[in-house]
Amino acid sequence: MTLNAKNIALFAIIGVIFILTGFAKGPNAALYLLNLGLISAILALGVNLQWGLAGLLNVGVMGFVALGALATVLISMPPTVEAMAAGGLRVVVALITGALVIIATVMTSKRMKPGKKRTFTILGLLIGGFFLYRFLFDPAVAAIEAVNPAGTGYLGGLGLPVLVAWPVGGLLAAGAAWVIGKTALGLRSDYLAVATLGIAEIIIAVLKNEDWLSRGVKNVVGIPRPVPYEVDLQASDTFIANAASLGFDNPVVASTIFVKLCYTGLFLTVLVILMWLSQKALNSPWGRMMRAIRDNEVAAEAMGKDVTKRHLQIFVLGSAICGVAGAMWATMDSTLIPTSYNPLRFTFLIWVMVIIGGSGNNWGAILGGFSILLLWDWGEQLGLWMMQALTFPLAEGVWLKDHLIHNAPHMRLLMIGVVLLLILRFSPRGLIPEE
Amino acid sequence: MDILNAFIALANFVLIPAISYGSQLALGALGVTLIYGILRFSNFAHGDTMAFGAMCTILVTWLFQSWGISFGPLPTALLALPFGILGAIAMLLATDRVIYKFYREQKAKPVIFLIVSLGVMFVMNGVVRFIIGPDDQRFSDGARFIMKARDFKQMTGLSEGLAFKTSQGITIVTAVVVVALLFWFLNKTRTGKSMRAYSDNEDLALLSGINPERVVTITWIIVAALATIAGVLYGLDKGFKPFTYFQLLLPIFASAIVGGLGNPLGAIAGGFVIAFSEVTITYAFKKVLGYLMPEGLEPSSLVQLLSTDYKFAVSFTILIIVLLFRPTGLFKGKSL
Amino acid sequence: MSEPFLIGDGMTGGYGKGPDILHDCTIAVDKGEIAVIVGPNGAGKSTGMKAVFGMLNLNKGSVRLDGEDITKLSPQDRVAKGMGFVPQTHNIFTSMTVEENLEMGAFIRTDDFYETIEQVYELFPILGDKRNQPAGELSGGQRQQVAVGRALMTKPTVLMLDEPTAGVSPIVMDELFDRIIEVARTGISILMVEQNARQALEIADKGYVLVQGANRFTDTGQALLADPEVRKSFLGG
């Protein structure tokens, strides 16, 4: 990024709005928003890698975020020993069987000659495999979910520190991205969009329905934290003393702010590392090659570049970043709530961040992440103000006025859409354009 | 007798629902495929266009209901449908003039159009939620059933009942009429043929004196009608909720791609392929098999291949299989 | 000498804002005549014809049809003025039937054009037999007939063909040339770019040999065929 007045001013404006948010909503809310902004910036970096550097349309960000969140449960929650004894082994065997069936099918379709014989073998394998899988899987699931359904009813996790889940979340997302990329890359660009849209819905469906894995709609709460708990801090005399020396008399406020600042430090570290890596990648020969491919795929292919393979690489990388961000998000909230994942919020809003920030520019992605998050957060309030101003001439209790004010929060979707359309039209390269 | 009962159960729980759902998907996919064929981009705002058209229809329906106008045993929404279509046409033509036209003149890449359609999607989604709210809305009235399960049992003496909802009957009849009209228009009228010509070979169409802006305008009008009809039929059948329409995007795109993007016939075939697979795979066959299997061998489990929550997985899997083995779709669509 | 029916006079220009491809190039054709543009690869043959049809920007020179200056008209307007154009590739609607292709050719006409369709079928009987088949399913030579037939549907006074015989077998080429002569006999002027120079010049009333976007030789077809220099350089001896 060139350090010109405009770019500095843009970041300064965002900073000022955060400070104003702090005054308006209190320091806790502002810090939470800042932490969410850091996560959004990381997500935007991941999507920018795919779209800005390679021109790939990943419309399944939500799915990769959710996989990251699942990783926090699988890694850090205490194991449900009873459930594991009841059906853990059988589930694992069932899953391995399922994977083997799929591998066998892929092998058959590659090794055998096309024809009726192959079709029947594949069909036989798939149908037989499916019933075998269900035979192994169903009783195990029933057994696991029967174990204390109100409290656990799932396998639980490995009981490891939650920070381990962050890279693991990235790996899970990378794995899913690899499967999708293998099938949909190399075809038309819109096919990748539809395929990723689909995988995201399926991942969410799995989280909602596979209670043995994620407790489904019963949610997982109390995911262990990488930072201290407020109650512990409030009980600690050294903390109270230190807080008081800094001018914080109320230990409750001090502890909540301290905890959030710990998250800020952790997230900032991750963002700085990823940003450094992204900038390195962008300016490396590899990054130049990626941009060359993006700008002229035919020419790059003619020069002997394996375009599909490069695309797969960058697609997996970008999705992995989304997975890491998803794990961070779940860690901050300490919960996994499958029903909270909504593509408008978790996929398309990230896209808006990238495009408004400036496709292809990592600093732009970060700026977009923060600014759109702020707009999203303030959107309901802005909508309400707008409606109040608009309906000011109307008398209290008029049907139209009530309706408009009641539905004002939905204005924010409209606002985001309008901002996106305006930027695309009048400043298509975004706030901080690619260099 | 058991075979007959099995068949009735199958018809009641699989065939009829799949045919009406398939009709709804086909109408939706036709809209997507027409936009793809003429304007050459994947319109991610299509689900929300359906929601918008359906919302307009619902508002007029409520107005009619408050005036005491009804359509006898048929839902009042059918009377309101033309007004809903008009609303959707106004919306789509406005978005075209204000938004898409600019990119057409720039000859922007399809992917840019796709992203622009994301912006339109946000706006439409916001408008719909703002006007009617994010919740379920009921607007169907008139007779609920053409045939009740109990009446069927009495009539035939079978132990299985066959229920046929009015909404299903209307869906199927409307879809047949609409599709017939559309194909008549595309294949028999001068304007329809000029649309096909434009979709087939843009340069030659220009050379032949076909006015591209007129073709585009007519396309949006047809798409608005198709989307509104699809949206209203789906709403009558399963209830109106803005978010479900957004989620319909996946099966609709899957239908259009499976059939071959840009190919109207393919969109219809794709819609039914997806609908039948979804319904069949998520149906519990216990009852049907219970009639068919010899005594003592009846299945004890539900014999449901996948739980209904995985219906997206079905459209997705079919999509992936088609992408892997036949990227241009079952009927040859545009590959580029 | 009176002014020819269609003339691209002293044309200089190129595509968009790119460099000039044509340099003071003149191409003309008279009523009912066949004029052929030949020359080596990259000589600007197709470009010359596209310039006459208004598909590139002329910096100098003019195009006149029947005495009227049409330099400023768009290709679409020139079609309305009675010029028919058959592009070299993508010149039919592959997913539409033969008859629909012809109907689309007549799109700008508001009168009854079924008579013209019958005339096209008379000229190209095979198209009449296959009128309800998708044009994309026809053979290469038949596709070219559809393309020519489509352009004839506006009842043009001038028909411009961009390499009509590209990629068809010699037998089909001869047949196509026969048809083109028949079209010319109905009083339609023909301007044609051809790769198969010798055969084309044989049927040409007038031949233009272009080199690097400029006229090198201009004469009757027979005279050019007889010219030893033309033979040596462009006809392979």
Measure the CA–CA gap between A110 and A119, rounded to whole angstroms.
12
CATH fold, domain A5-79+156-426, is ABC transporter involved in vitamin B12 uptake, BtuC (1.10.3470)
> In this model, does residue A195 exceed pLDDT 70?
yes
The chains in contact with chain B, meaning 3 or more Cβ pairs closer than 8 Å, are A, C
Among A296, A414, A427, most B C-beta atoms within 10 A, so best to mutate, is: A414
Residue with tokens 């699988």: A74
The chains in contact with chain C, meaning 3 or more Cβ pairs closer than 8 Å, are B
Measure the CA–CA gap between B36 and B24, rounded to whole angstroms.
19
A225 CA: distance to closest CA in chain B (Å):
32
Measure the CA–CA gap between B137 and B55, rounded to whole angstroms.
9
pLDDT at A62: 96
Chain centre distance of CA B259: 14
> Which domains, from first to last, does chain C contain?
1-82+158-168+189-237 (3.40.50.300), 88-155 (no CATH)
pLDDT at A420: 94
Chain centre distance of CA C55: 14
Residue contacts between A and B (CB atoms, under 8 Å): 132
CATH of the domain at B191: 1.10.3470
Measure the CA–CA gap between B275 and B230, rounded to whole angstroms.
14
For residue C26, the surrounding DSSP H or E stretch is strand C22-29
Measure the CA–CA gap between B180 and B312, rounded to whole angstroms.
29
Partner residue facing B122 (CB), from A130, A209, A413: A413
Give chain B positions within 8 Å (CB) of C75: 206-207
Domain span including residue B137: 2-245
Domain positions in chain A? 5-79+156-426, 80-155
Name C226's bridge partners: none
Residues of chain C with pLDDT under 70: 1, 237
For residue C23, the surrounding DSSP H or E stretch is strand C22-29
The reply to whether B33 touches chain A by the CB within 8 Å rule is no
The reply to whether A130 touches chain B by the CB within 8 Å rule is yes
For residue C25, the surrounding DSSP H or E stretch is strand C22-29
Decide: helix, strand or coil at residue C11: strand
pLDDT at A2: 65
The reply to whether B246 touches chain A by the CB within 8 Å rule is yes
B85 in a domain, yes or no? yes
Distances (CA, A) of B245 to A169, A311, B60, B226: 31, 32, 19, 14
The chains in contact with chain A, meaning 3 or more Cβ pairs closer than 8 Å, are B
Chain centre distance of CA A398: 42
Residue with tokens 């890279």: A167
Give chain B positions within 8 Å (CB) of C94: 200-201
pLDDT at C237: 60
Partner residue facing B102 (CB), from A55, A410, A425: A425
Give the residue ranges of DSSP H helices in A162-306: 165-184, 189-209, 211-214, 230-235, 237-245, 251-283, 285-295, 297-302
SS (H, E, C) B6-60: HHHHHHHHHHHHHHHHHHHHHHHHHHHHHHHHHHCCCCCCHHHHHHHHHHHHHHH
Residue contacts between B and C (CB atoms, under 8 Å): 55
Give chain C positions within 8 Å (CB) of B210: 104, 107
Give chain C positions within 8 Å (CB) of B206: 75-76
Partner residue facing B316 (CB), from A202, A410, A415: A202
pLDDT at B336: 35
The reply to whether B201 touches chain C by the CB within 8 Å rule is yes
The answer for B 92-111 residues in CB contact with A (under 8 A) is 99, 102, 110-111
Measure the CA–CA gap between A123 and B193, rounded to whole angstroms.
42
Q: What share of chain B is helix, strand, coil (3-state, %, to 5)?
A: 75, 5, 25
pLDDT at B204: 94
What separation, in Å, do the N-terminal and C-terminal C-alpha atoms of chain B show? 53
Structure tokens at B309: 């929550």
Measure the CA–CA gap between B136 and C198, rounded to whole angstroms.
76
DSSP, residue by residue, C27-73: EEE-TT-EEEEE-STTSSHHHHHHHHHT-SEEEEEEEEETTEE-TT-
Inter-chain residue contact B204 with C90, CB threshold 8 Å = yes
pLDDT at B286: 80
Inter-chain residue contact B310 with A202, CB threshold 8 Å = yes
With vertex at residue C170, the alpha carbon angle to CA C169 and CA C173, rounded to the nearest 5 degrees, is 90
Inter-chain residue contact B307 with A188, CB threshold 8 Å = no
Can you say whether the dihedral through the CA atoms of C193, C194, C198, C200 is positive or negative? negative
Inter-chain residue contact A352 with B122, CB threshold 8 Å = yes
Inter-chain residue contact C107 with B194, CB threshold 8 Å = yes
ipTM: 0.90
The reply to whether A322 touches chain B by the CB within 8 Å rule is no
Q: Which residue in B137, B169, B3 sits closest to B57, CA to CA? A: B137
- Which residues neighbour B322 within 8 Å (Cβ) at sequence distance 6 or greater? B257, B258, B329, B330
For residue A383, the surrounding DSSP H or E stretch is helix A362-390
Inter-chain residue contact C87 with B208, CB threshold 8 Å = no
DSSP letter assigned to residue A85 = I
Number of domains, chain B: 1
Partner residue facing C93 (CB), from B190, B201, B209: B201
pLDDT at A1: 57
Measure the CA–CA gap between A417 and B125, rounded to whole angstroms.
9
The answer for B 124-153 residues in CB contact with A (under 8 A) is 124-127, 129-131, 133-134
B24 in a domain, yes or no? yes
Name C189's bridge partners: C158
A abuts C (3+ Cβ pairs < 8 Å):
no
Inter-chain residue contact C94 with B201, CB threshold 8 Å = yes
- What ranges make up the beta strands (E) of C71-198? 83-86, 158-162, 189-193
- Amino acid (one-letter) located at A185: L
Measure the CA–CA gap between C84 and C65, rounded to whole angstroms.
13
The reply to whether A200 touches chain B by the CB within 8 Å rule is no
Please check whether residue C23 is in contact with residue C31, taking contact to mean a CB–CB distance below 8 angstroms: no
Residues of chain B with pLDDT under 50: 335-336
Nearest CA in chain C to B208: C105
Measure the CA–CA gap between A187 and A195, rounded to whole angstroms.
11
B199 CA: distance to closest CA in chain C (Å):
9
Q: What is the pLDDT of residues A333-367, one digit of tens each?
A: 999 999 999 999 999 999 999 999 999 899 999 99
B15 in a domain, yes or no? yes
Give chain B positions within 8 Å (CB) of C100: 193, 196-197
B abuts C (3+ Cβ pairs < 8 Å):
yes
For residue B301, the surrounding DSSP H or E stretch is none
Inter-chain residue contact A188 with B253, CB threshold 8 Å = no
Q: What is the pLDDT of residues A243-295, one digit of tens each?
A: 888 888 888 889 999 999 999 999 999 999 999 999 999 889 999 988 888 88
Q: What is the pLDDT of residues C191-206, one digit of tens each?
A: 999 988 888 999 999 9
Structure tokens at B257: 């791609």
For residue B270, the surrounding DSSP H or E stretch is helix B264-281
Residue with tokens 């083109």: C180
Inter-chain residue contact C103 with B208, CB threshold 8 Å = no
pLDDT (mean) for A405-413: 86
Give chain A positions within 8 Å (CB) of B308: none
A203-207, A421-425, B293-297: the lowest-pLDDT one: B293-297
Structure tokens at A8: 């500095």
DSSP letter assigned to residue C134 = B
Please check whether residue A86 is in contact with residue A144, taking contact to mean a CB–CB distance below 8 angstroms: yes
Percent of chain A with pLDDT over 90: 53
pLDDT at A76: 94
Order of all β-strands in the sheet with C6-14: C22-29, C6-14, C57-65, C68-69
Inter-chain residue contact A190 with B115, CB threshold 8 Å = no
Inter-chain residue contact A202 with B110, CB threshold 8 Å = no
Partner residue facing B250 (CB), from A201, A351, A410: A201
pLDDT at B335: 40
The reply to whether B67 touches chain A by the CB within 8 Å rule is no
| Mean pLDDT for chain A overall | 90
Decide: helix, strand or coil at residue B304: strand
Give chain B positions within 8 Å (CB) of A408: 130
Decide: helix, strand or coil at residue A151: coil
Cβ neighbour number for residue A53 with a 10 Å cutoff = 24
